[in-house]
Chains A and B, each alone.
Chain A
Amino acid sequence: MINVIRPALFAGLALAGGACRGAPRFDPGEAALAAAASDSLTVALADSIAPAQGFVASQAGSAVETISACEDHVDSRGWQSYASRIIELELPEGYTGTAQTSSLARWNGPSGWLRASTHSSEAHVGWSGLITSECDVFISGSPAHIDLVTGGYGRGVHVLIKVQDAPQIGIEAQAKDIGGQAQLLHAIRAARVSSAWGHPE
């Protein structure tokens, strides 16, 4: 009888002991790496969604002012309406039309300028500057590609509008600062393609 009980007793105690075993050994080095990975991922995610929420992104410890080509949070109350044979749009106070032909329209203002014309090339072709943000949107019902660029003059907005049954429209705008860039971006996004565009005079 004892011979039967003894192995059963040891087996039982061994199983019970197994049930009480602790968690795997804790490795502080691996835990630190996991914490660093988690933290850097959270910071990167915060930086990536910051522009969309209207925050200014920061990189490498210093403030870098940038906006997304997809965002549009500018208040345009009080802006003035302008029309041409290419586009109709609203611009901040102080802008005046300087050149208006059937294929070119230009407005100059205190913080920058904006020019609309025929653009036969694809997006990114025919313009210069470092692209900081891109976005595909619809402008006046037509598919459009927006590039925000930084160049020698300041901050630019390049837009290509693919108008159905009419030539493509290229819009180039330049602002001295990021505020002006955001204003011109909004002006272009809210612009309407003129009903005269694509029709002979």
Chain B
Amino acid sequence: MRLLSIPATLVGIAIAIIFFKIYGIFTRPDVPRPVAIVIDQFAPGVSIGAKVADVRHNVAAMSYVPHLGFVGMPGSRGANLPNGYTIRFAQVRLLLDEQTRRLPNPNPAKARIDAVEIVSGEANAPYDIGQAFTLTFRRPPREGCLRTADDDRVRDVQIWATPNERGGLALITDHRVSPADRARSPVMTSVIGFVGKFDGGRTLRGNYTDASCSLALQSQ
């Protein structure tokens, strides 16, 4: 009789796992709400998980960049920050998963958006967006650094993830050390909205390190 109770317990556990798995699938939104809201504010009509063809009317002059995704210009609805300010974004990138982005010409009707990157060249963008994200997530970000092909150019990364790590937002901006750096070219700021657990460079499509850029440069 005792022997029979062991499989019964295992069956019970298995049924419970299956139940919660199915329950989770049906009740959990695909994209965490804060991530979806921010992306919709910065690139109206664009959403993670949607098919590229479904958002094409909201992305002007869209073209395909191999190994990355579809790139174009986002629309605008006016104020897109909680304080009523507006950050103008010059580009939106509909990032594809590894399998799809290998294709030379993926079909927009079938390709799903894996993550969204929105890019601005406005000087105040990193500060204003960072402040808005801290207010939204109510905690400071995790810091990191993206290295680029140019050894002298690194980019600061700030990550805000949802409590259960179902997704998050990354704020990436050019790391400028001296005033001369700041005067040379515009400060480029990217916001990447992603789903799932943050996976460093895989999520950000870059060479990511967990140390801040200041620390990374010091250790060189």
Contacts and interface: CB of A to CB of B under 8 A. Distances in A.
Interface of A: 1-2, 5-6, 8-9, 11-13, 15-16, 19, 23-24, 26-27, 30-31, 33-39, 41-42, 45-47, 49-50, 53, 55, 58
A45 B91 contact: yes
Contacts, number: 106
Contacts of A37: 65-68, 205
A39 B68 CA distance: 10
A50 B186 CA distance: 6
Interface string B89-131: 0110100011101100000000000000101010000000000
A66 B77 CA distance: 33
Given A6-B7, A34-B67, A35-B201, A42 B17 contact: no
Decide if the interface of chain A is mainly helix, strand, loop or mixed: helix
A190 B90 CA distance: 28
Given A15-B14, A30-B67, A45 B207 contact: no
Contacts of A6: 7
Kindly state the interface size class of chain B when it binds its partner. Answer: 35 or more
Can you list the 10 inter-chain pairs with the closest CB atoms, starting with the nearest? Answer: A12-B14, A33-B67, A37-B68, A34-B205, A49-B121, A16-B17, A37-B67, A35-B206, A38-B205, A5-B7
12 contacts: A15-B17, A15-B21, A19-B17, A27-B98, A34-B101, A35-B201, A37-B66, A38-B68, A38-B93, A38-B205, A46-B186, A53-B186
Contacts of A49: 90, 121, 186
A9 B7 contact: yes
A26 B14 CA distance: 30
Contacts of A33: 66-67
B151 interface: no
Contacts of B11: 5, 8-9, 12
Contacts of B4: 1-2
A21 to B, nearest CB: 12
B102 A30 contact: yes
A35 B205 contact: yes
